[in-house]
């Protein structure tokens, strides 16, 4: 019996040995005809609404491959489900890097999930490119030279609102409502940094809520009673609806700045009431697929054609699909710039030297810029006012770099 067990163990051991990885090439994941790129997305779990981003990126890269690939290479995009659970992200990213041997990791989604692989990827010197999160810590080339963000950070957006208030509102008294977590605090920090030491005195009331609270009604009443005439509203959609409604109901009419997180017309403004939502201001950087002003826009037409052909099950009203298409184009730009040198160092070098890149679904005038010391690709946004039907862009393009 013992001998049989030993045989069994040997077979088991041999079997496992066979799964062990093959030897590495010069740059992992790169051959003459192919480049392997890894990704994780929450296709299941609490954040699965974001999963469409991974699917749309895969669809976009399929289109790129159908059109001949990049510099003669096809992109092999390997995307795994991490269910928004950091330990699973670690496992999946290690699988991508150590087993699938991808050239680099791209657009991994989520703040806690990316935090879990931040050190690992930098330790392995694997590019951790264009992460899909609005947190601010991704643009830190000194400590983490292999990680780069993509979208405007919450702090960037906060700074933009501050610049607008300082320039346009006399005798501003500012009231802030924010979600008591990193997301809310990031926005408030950017806003207060933008106001500066003197401007910070303009803030007369700061109210916070927990994501588990049933309502924010009392906070809105407090803000009104503080005498604020500017309202910086840092809330997720559910609470944004409540805040907009309540402010309207109690007759409080401040200059109302609504964070981009809740800028959806269908999800927030319509449920809150068109009358109550009128004259809200937000900051945008992507073209809104539901906005009729882009109906004849070439970029939007191309996107719609792409959606129909490569991702027909995707929602053409979902801004996440616009986001995915745009970041996919950013990736293709970097790979084109790399030419034939797809070493990891060169991928980071090219990603860190994007100059004034316009992409068709970014708002006109907004450009992607990076440098060896600037790992925040998109730092411009434009303000828009809700006219009762749609967001109307106005004013200049704000650049948080300046």
In the complex, the residues that contact another protein under the rule CB under 8 A are: 1-2, 5-6, 9, 12-13, 16-17, 19-21, 43-46, 80-81, 83-87, 90-91, 94-95, 97-99, 110-113, 115-116, 118-120, 135, 181-182, 212
The distance of closest approach from Cβ of residue 254 to another protein in the complex, given in angstroms and rounded to an integer, is 29
The distance of closest approach from Cβ of residue 199 to another protein in the complex, given in angstroms and rounded to an integer, is 26
- Contact of 352 with 372, CB cutoff 8 Å: yes
The distance of closest approach from Cβ of residue 82 to another protein in the complex, given in angstroms and rounded to an integer, is 10
CB nearer to another protein: give 299 or 314. 314
CB nearer to another protein: give 90 or 304. 90
The distance of closest approach from Cβ of residue 88 to another protein in the complex, given in angstroms and rounded to an integer, is 8
- Contact of 21 with 60, CB cutoff 8 Å: no
DSSP β-ladder status, 34-41 and 203-209 = unpaired
Separation CA 77–CA 61 (nearest Å)? 7
The distance of closest approach from Cβ of residue 92 to another protein in the complex, given in angstroms and rounded to an integer, is 9
CB nearer to another protein: give 13 or 196. 13
The distance of closest approach from Cβ of residue 98 to another protein in the complex, given in angstroms and rounded to an integer, is 4
- Angle between helices 319-338 and 344-351 in degrees, nearest 10: 120
Tokens, residue 172: 């501003």
Sorted by sequence, the CB contacts under 8 Å of residue 344 that are 6+ apart come out as 27, 103, 104, 125, 126, 127, 146
Kindly tell me the burial class for residue 336, based on how many C-beta atoms sit within 10 Å of its own C-beta (0-12, 13-18, 19 or more): exposed
CB nearer to another protein: give 14 or 197. 14
CB nearer to another protein: give 98 or 341. 98
CB nearer to another protein: give 212 or 298. 212
Separation CA 257–CA 243 (nearest Å)? 12
């Amino acid at each position: 019996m013992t001998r049989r067990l030993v045989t069994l163990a040997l077979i088991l051991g041999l079997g496992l040995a066979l799964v062990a990885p093959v030897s590495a090439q010069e740059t992992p994941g790169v051959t003459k005809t192919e480049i392997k790129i890894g990704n994780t997305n929450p296709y299941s779990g609490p954040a699965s609404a974001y999963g469409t981003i991974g699917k749309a990126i895969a669809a976009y890269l399929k289109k790129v491959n159908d059109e001949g690939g990049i510099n003669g290479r096809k992109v092999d995009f390997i995307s795994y489900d991490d269910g928004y659970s950091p330990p699973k992200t670690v496992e999946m990213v290690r699988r991508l890097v150590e087993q699938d041997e991808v050239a680099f990791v791209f657009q991994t989604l989520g703040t806690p999930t990316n935090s879990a692989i931040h050190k690992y990827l930098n330790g392995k010197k694997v590019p951790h490119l264009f992460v899909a999160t609005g947190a601010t810590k991704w643009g830190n080339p000194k400590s983490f030279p292999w990680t780069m963000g993509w979208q405007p950070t919450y702090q960037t957006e906060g700074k933009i609102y501050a610049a607008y208030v300082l320039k346009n509102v006399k005798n501003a008294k500012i009231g802030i409502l924010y979600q008591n977590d990193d997301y809310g605090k990031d926005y408030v920090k950017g806003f207060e940094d933008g106001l500066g030491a003197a401007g910070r005195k303009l803030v007369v009331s700061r109210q916070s809520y927990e994501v588990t609270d049933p309502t924010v009604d009392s906070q809105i009443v407090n803000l009104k009673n503080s005498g604020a005439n500017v309202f910086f509203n840092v809330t997720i959609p559910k609470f944004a609806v409540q805040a907009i409604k309540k402010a309207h109901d109690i007759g409080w009419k401040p200059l109302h700045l609504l964070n981009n997180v809740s800028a959806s017309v269908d999800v927030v403004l319509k449920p809150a009431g068109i009358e109550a939502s009128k004259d809200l201001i937000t900051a945008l950087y992507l073209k809104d697929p539901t906005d009729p002003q882009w109906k004849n826009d070439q970029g939007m037409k191309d996107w719609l054609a792409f959606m129909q052909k490569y991702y027909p099950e995707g929602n053409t009203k979902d801004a996440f699909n616009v986001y995915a298409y745009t970041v996919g184009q950013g990736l293709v730009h970097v790979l084109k710039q790399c030419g034939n040198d797809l070493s990891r160092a060169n991928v980071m070098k090219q990603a860190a030297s994007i100059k004034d890149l316009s992409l068709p679904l970014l708002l006109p005038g907004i450009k992607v810029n990076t440098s060896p010391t600037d790992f925040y690709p998109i730092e411009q946004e434009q303000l828009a006012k809700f006219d009762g039907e749609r967001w109307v862009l106005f004013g200049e393009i704000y650049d948080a770099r300046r």
